[in-house]
Amino acid sequence: MAAPVKLLMLENFIDGKFLPCNSYIDSYDPSTGEVYCKVPNSGKEEVHIRHSVFNMKLAMFHLSSFCHAGDESKVLHVLVKCSTPEIEAAVQAARGAFPGWSSKSPQERAQVLNRLADLLEQSLEELAQAESKDQGKTLTMARTMDIPRAVQNFRFFASSVLHHTTECTQMDHLGCLHYTVRTPVGIAGLISPWNLPLYLLTWKIAPAIAAGNTVIAKPSELTSVTAWMLCKLLDKAGVPPGVINIVFGVGPRAGEALVSHPEVPLISFTGSQPTAERITQLSAPHCKKLSLELGGKNPAIIFEDANLEECIPTTIRSSFANQGEICLCTSRIFVQKSIYSEFLKRFVEATRKWKVGIPSDPSACMGALISKEHLEKVRSYIKRARAEGAHILCGEGVDNLNLPPRNQAGYFMLPTVITDIKDESCCMKEEIFGPVTCVVPFDSEEEVIRRANGVKYGLAATVWSSNVGRIHRVAKKLQSGLVWTNCWLIRELNLPFGGMKSSGIGREGAKDSHDFFTEIKTITVKHE
């Protein structure tokens, strides 16, 4: 009889110490569908207590809602929201660490960030292995993109924090000098997603602590392992206890407790629009600063003069990289009618060569999707497209997927191309967040701009053309926070990152992140 598999047990990290939790949730290996890790289920607990309506002891409880059980019973079911010990402890730790950390010079804080970057880099292989297993992405992607970018995030903000300037003006006729200063906000609440776990967590932590804030971070409960591993490096890097606190758990418990806490004045969130709406509701009574980086329904516009030798492989990557689980992935491809047939033929051929395999396979281009539930959601879009009369040219339900026996229960699917689909279809309107893209023809420049802008999202777009004038013209008219032309995912971290419309609020980047994580103050000095 095989010995039971020992599960990895994570702990919250608060005030420089790992602390156990009373409740845990299962975390699955997406490539096998097996539980391999236990994640703390931090946050408020809800307890139902049945009392008589005349029992005055109810006044002793914090009552969040009442539900009548019937007039004849004369009882109430009372929902009592208990305290949130993990978040309260993290707030206390962050509050206590703030005076010392915020009083350090930018140079001192930068040294700590650089040491942390060095330690991450020294642990690159271990972190990449963990990220691949936890998220389902290929080990190659974790090695070459996720972990190196996490390292870069700390180094980048360690440098940029040293180069910010402030404003100064004079009013000589009144004998006044005006200048601005920027000060850290306080405790920053950071909520990061499951698709690029350490990459996007550090994209928030680095600028927050570089500016002098202390932080409470809640990673996704689906991908918590590399955040936990990061905590093991903080003391050695010289991060004082309480500066970085990480509380694990689900959104409705740990997330809501963090967002609604009155001593957390700032929330940076990357994730879905429905969750952002809830964050906005909970933050409104406290007038919190919000940075919301949400989804996209990103178009690629391919004109007849595009270089298809470069365009097709890049658009394959922009559609299916990381299993299509990147907010910047292309999910609507508009191709000018004169080259539509040629493009479609070559694109489908290239898609069939985009290998799906177990994450450790160095030849695999794509690994497993994050969860069983997400896999079913993505598949449901393909079923709806088929029901609407669209054609599935390759991928799900068309081609065979071959996997080793141990991975048969994993959350894999083939990259899928849909055509003959209307712009009004849910597959052309809603964010699928999986390896599915739709290819449709267009006639004119004006038409494709209108259709590309005809969704509620506005995060990113790509334009393919050899006409420089057209590139500038179209890029300016597209309702997208980022527009790549003849390329994809080439990032300059100094410049703003973020979307328009329902793709979010605010921007991230060197100056934008610094502005968000600080408060500006104008000081006037009257002199003789």
CA dist 107 and 122 (Å) reads 23
Q: What is the dihedral of CA 79, 84, 85, 88, to 10 degrees?
A: -140
Contact partners, residue 118, CB within 8 Å, separation at least 6: none
Q: Is 104 exposed, middle or buried (0-12, 13-18, 19+ CB in 10 A)?
A: middle
Tokens encoding 505: 């609020």
269 within 8 A of 127, measured Cβ to Cβ:
no
Of 131, 221, 256, 293, catalytic: 293
Q: What is the 3-state secondary structure (H, E, C) of 300-329?
A: EEECCCCCHHHHHHHHHHHHHHHHHCCCCC
List phi, psi (to 5°) of 182: -120, 135
DSSP classification of residue 104: S
List phi, psi (to 5°) of 506: 90, 175
365 within 8 A of 332, measured Cβ to Cβ:
no
DSSP E strand stretches across 172-310 = 176-184, 187-191, 214-218, 244-246, 266-270, 289-293, 298-302
CB burial string 187-215: b at 16+ within 10 A, e below: bbbbbbbbbbbbbbbbbbbbbbbbbbbbb
CA-closest candidate to residue 221, choices 261, 201, 188, 193:
193
161 within 8 A of 110, measured Cβ to Cβ:
yes
Other beta carbons within 10 Å of 36:
16
Tokens encoding 522: 């104008």
Asked about 131 being catalytic, the answer comes back as no
Tokens encoding 255: 């997330």
Q: What is the dihedral of CA 39, 40, 43, 48, to 10 degrees?
A: 90
Torsion 223-226-228-230 (CA) sign? negative
Rounded to whole angstroms, what are the CA distances from 134 to 227, 370, 405, 430? 11, 8, 20, 26
CA dist 129 and 143 (Å) reads 8
CA dist 346 and 323 (Å) reads 20
CB burial string 448-486: b at 16+ within 10 A, e below: bbebbbebebbbbbbbbbeeeebbeebbeebbbbbbbbe
Tokens encoding 202: 């550090």
DSSP characters for 365-413? SB---S-HHHHHHHHHHHHHHHHTT-EEEESTTTS-----GGGTTS---
- Residues involved in catalysis: 293
